[in-house]
Amino acid sequence: MVIRYTVPASEDGRILKNVLRDSLRLSTAQLRRLKAADALSVGGERSRADRVLHTGDELMLLLTEDAPAFPPEEAPLTVLFEDEHLLALDKPRGIILHPTHSRFTGTLANLAWGRIRASGGDGCHAVNRLDRDTGGAVLFAKNAWACSRMAGAVEEKLYLAAVCGVPEEPSGSVDFPIRRLSERDMKRVCAPDGQSARTDWTLLASREGLSLLELRLYTGRTHQIRVHCAAMGWPLLGDRLYGTEASLARSAELGQTMQALWCVRMAFRHPADERRIVLSARPDSEILSIFDFSA
């Protein structure tokens, strides 16, 4: 991958390696690779990393990286956004996001890597993560540089959830700390000694004891929405881990075996030019139809 950068007046007189680290956010490993490959150039000429830069200098970097350890696969995908640096997909519920020691194929990352490799890309890095049974917007970086630039670049994440129960107020905020139930347990609980976690919610619709909530995250704790909704007495429809006997019975009536949760909106700054990108996804039509919404 080739990165081009024009030195602004604010960086006149700075050292090349410092600009690469601070402004372009290259990692130590990436800098080491550039030096070893003699892949740094200024104004079309090969340059040392300790070169002094001046306003208007044109930098060109040739970055390489190792291919992912997991195999590429092909299958139809719903693409929300794609360019030379990023690939955003609408993840279906029920698919694992990333390979693990016990599951090396059949994940969304395998499919994303298949698409990226077919278009000449070098890498595949998940920027955000969703549980297996959560659907919606997932963002992949096509190279390590774009992935590192995405740290802190996601400005907004908005979810929709169908829950069992109806809030008494039209909107509110849940600010309960979250921790593991026990050291080796996947389940989380709200507890004073947990990590801070805040979720804002808005009631969009309710019907027959079910509610459709819009939820905004201010922290990204594991299972945060599921834990907070369960703590408030509104377990997610289809949530087998945090549901109650009553909510699971209702879920079974509606044929829901996975939690009804989707990341429906994500806004971020693009790693190359910092323009604001907004991704939008939609929940399954069967969930929306419960509340008389069309897909």
Residue 236 DSSP code: B
Question: Does residue 211 contact residue 166 with C-beta atoms inside 8 Å?
Answer: yes
Distance from the Cα of residue 101 to its chain's centroid: 21
**Distances from the Cα of 279 to the Cα of 40, 73, 137, 263, 286, angstroms:** 34, 24, 7, 10, 22
| CA–CA separation, 127 and 293 (whole Å) | 31
Joined together, the tokens standing for residue 25 give 């956010």
Question: Does residue 170 contact residue 202 with C-beta atoms inside 8 Å?
Answer: yes
Question: Does residue 163 contact residue 234 with C-beta atoms inside 8 Å?
Answer: yes
Q: Spell out where 24-153 has E strands.
A: 40-42, 45-46, 58-62, 79-82, 86-91, 125-126, 135-141
- Per the listing, tokens 């007495």 go with 233
Point out the catalytic residue in the list 57, 131, 133, 239: 131
Question: Does residue 140 contact residue 147 with C-beta atoms inside 8 Å?
Answer: no
| CA–CA separation, 125 and 190 (whole Å) | 31
Q: Judge whether 131 counts as a catalytic residue.
A: yes
Residues forming the active site: 131
